[in-house]
Amino acid sequence: MRRATFAEGNAGVDAVTDALLTASRLLVALSARSIAAVEDSITLPQFRLLVVLHTRGPLKHAVLAEHLGVTPSTTSRMVDRLVGVDMVRRDASPNSRREIMVELTDGGQQVVRQVTARRRKEIAKIVAKMPEDTRRGMVDALNAFAEAGGEPPVGTSLDAIWS
């Protein structure tokens, strides 16, 4: 199947959406392989929870559910599983005993660091195969995409510690 290009006047949004969908399949596969190579007892959604905590710090349970785009009950099940394997911990909020805070343990931080390093290495291999002129516009475009989706850039907040 031939790929549509932006130059073909594919309304711009459709061409970019199709290209990102294709790229996301590759990125999800890389992510899944990176997680499996480091920690085979967690799922991709559970790893996403770890990454959210890694980039944003400890969060109230309800706020974590919002960031993940899932229901609080789904978040509770994921947190239960990750508490069981010592990757996150739950504590009462210092501001209100009724609020539950979720934060990474040292083990959770280590998993995020290892998976991210492995994934970065695999992505770098692919990017290195691309022509330099093609890579030029990707940084701005992908940063704009991540920003529009509310994803903090690598190198901000707690991420800077692990880079």
pLDDT for residue 6: 53
Which portions of the chain are predicted below pLDDT 70? 1-11, 155-163
pLDDT for residue 11: 55
Contact 78, 47 (CB under 8 A): no
pLDDT for residue 8: 52
pLDDT for residue 162: 38
**pLDDT tens, 106-135?**
999 999 999 999 999 999 999 999 998 888
CATH topology of domain 10-144: Arc Repressor Mutant, subunit A (1.10.10)
Contact 28, 39 (CB under 8 A): no
